[in-house]
Structure 1
Amino acid sequence: MSAPATRQQYGFTLIEILVAMAIFTIIGLASTGVLNSVINSDQLSSERFAKLESLQRAMLTMERDILQIVPRTVRVNSEFVSAVLTGGEDVLESDADGISFVRIGWYNPQMLLPRSTLQAVGYRIQEEQLQRLYGNYVDNVIGYEPKIKTLLTDVEDFRVSFLTDREHLEEPEKWQESYSEKALPLAISITIVSKTFGEIRREFMLANGQ
């Protein structure tokens, strides 16, 4: 018997190779697009989460300070200021509203540090930053400059208002827009307008309010 004929082997044609390369290129481009989308989404989520954390820290800091307000006057440039709390437009050279007061509860373990547990603090807006101003001493000498800590960025507006009459507790439009008195108000409202989170309003009832 004669030997069986061997099958003739063929290679890929140029067209087949080009088609295969085109398919792999399309798959690669699609994979790259998906990967970039995932990376950008993750980066955006991380940035958003970081801003949310900053907002939470800022609100907790303000809440702690405001709820610990005490009716204590301060001395500025060696002169006493009669008001225990000052708030409204242009306070502390703010681009919007500002507020300044004295709070208690500044931790000083066993009074080891050369200061009291009282602290003069203030809040203002400058260059779209919500800033907290503070110092080591309540009464400061001439030339003293407060320390500044930025709590939030991209802040478009900062407003404060004050409640002095309980009858207007549920009527925010009737709260005072400025305050400078020898007694504390009943409540303080803080409104922050953020480019990221929009308008945020918080109201704080004061234990030492009039």
Structure 2
Amino acid sequence: MLGASIATSRSKKRARSPRAIFTLHGFTLIELLVALAIFSVMSVVAYRGLNAVLETREHLMVDNRKWRELAVFFAQMKEGVTNAVDRPVRDSGDLLAPAFLGKPDVVGENDAQLIFTRMGFPGQQGHLGDLQRLGYRLRDKNIELLVWPVLDQAPHTRPTVSKALGNVSIFVVRYLDDKGVWQTNWPVIGQNIVLPRAVEVRLGLESGEQVTRMFAP
């Protein structure tokens, strides 16, 4: 009986096919291919998800930078306009220019849409503490800040020009007169008011947004 049992056990071991033995000790080729296919699909999904996250992050960073630069620009402009003073100047052509000047169009390299005289910065010495002549204009998709070195200018006096804000397609300034009417030019003919009651600035950004702010001199 013992001999017959051993013989039967050996015959069963010999009867197992190589496929059956492989199945007991690992994956079949089909199972490996299926696993690789699933891994490939998951890798693609993970890559696309990561790429979407990175793109969203980049868009958020661009948006944050855009609105931060816009906030800085408006803060700078507000600080200047709210400190505007009644001080006419002599321009480079020896003509008397109003203390506060606004117009839709720019004529020449040294002109601007909005030009005014402002107080110096409190607590500052020298040039920063003196009255300043400033201007703003739109040129080549940029808002430019013009700063004249002196109030009463010589024939060859030129302003320093710097970029105040980029990616701008629209720059419109309006002025509230003494009768409560918005004007596109300042000063208003027939009115003796030197400074407008309010200044409205409307910007159109290259990205499509339009932003309006109002300041009171």
Q: What is the TM-score with the length of structure 1 in the denominator?
A: 0.81
User: Is the partner of 1:137 in helix, strand or coil?
Assistant: coil
Q: CA offset at residue 90 of structure 1?
A: 1.4
1:11 aligns with 2:26: yes
Mean Cα deviation higher: 11-20 or 46-55: 11-20
Paired with 1:205 and 1:61, the residues of 2 have a C-alpha distance of: 14
1:141 aligns with 2:154: yes
| Structure with more contact order per residue of length (Cα contacts < 8 Å, sep ≥ 6) | 1
- Which of 100, 117, 121 does residue 106 from structure 1 map onto? 121
Change (3 A) 1:11 1:115: closer
Checking the alignment, whether the CA contact within 8 Å between 1:115 and 1:137 is kept in structure 2 is: no
Match of 1:68 in 2: 83
1:110-157 C-alpha deviation (Å, 9 max, x unpaired): x3x367521110010001111111133223322232122222222111
Change (3 A) 1:114 1:89: closer
- Which of 32, 35, 57 does residue 42 from structure 1 map onto? 57
Match of 2:182 in 1: 175
Q: What is the TM-score with the length of structure 2 in the denominator?
A: 0.79
Alignment coverage as a number of residue pairs: 196
In structure 1, stretches of 5+ residues that fail to align are 169-173
Mean Cα deviation higher: 181-190 or 56-65: 181-190
Change (3 A) 1:46 1:114: closer
* Root mean square deviation of aligned Cα: 2.6
In structure 2, stretches of 5+ residues that fail to align are none
Q: CA offset at residue 79 of structure 1?
A: 1.2
Which structure carries more helix by proportion? Answer: 2
- Which of 53, 66, 69 does residue 51 from structure 1 map onto? 66
1:202 aligns with 2:213: yes
Tell me which amino acid in the other structure corresponds to 1:151. Answer: A
Change (3 A) 1:81 1:143: same
Paired with 1:185 and 1:47, the residues of 2 have a C-alpha distance of: 36
Q: CA offset at residue 93 of structure 1?
A: 4.8
Which structure's CA Rg is the greater one? Answer: 2
User: Is the partner of 2:72 in helix, strand or coil?
Assistant: helix
Match of 1:190 in 2: 201
Change (3 A) 1:71 1:91: farther
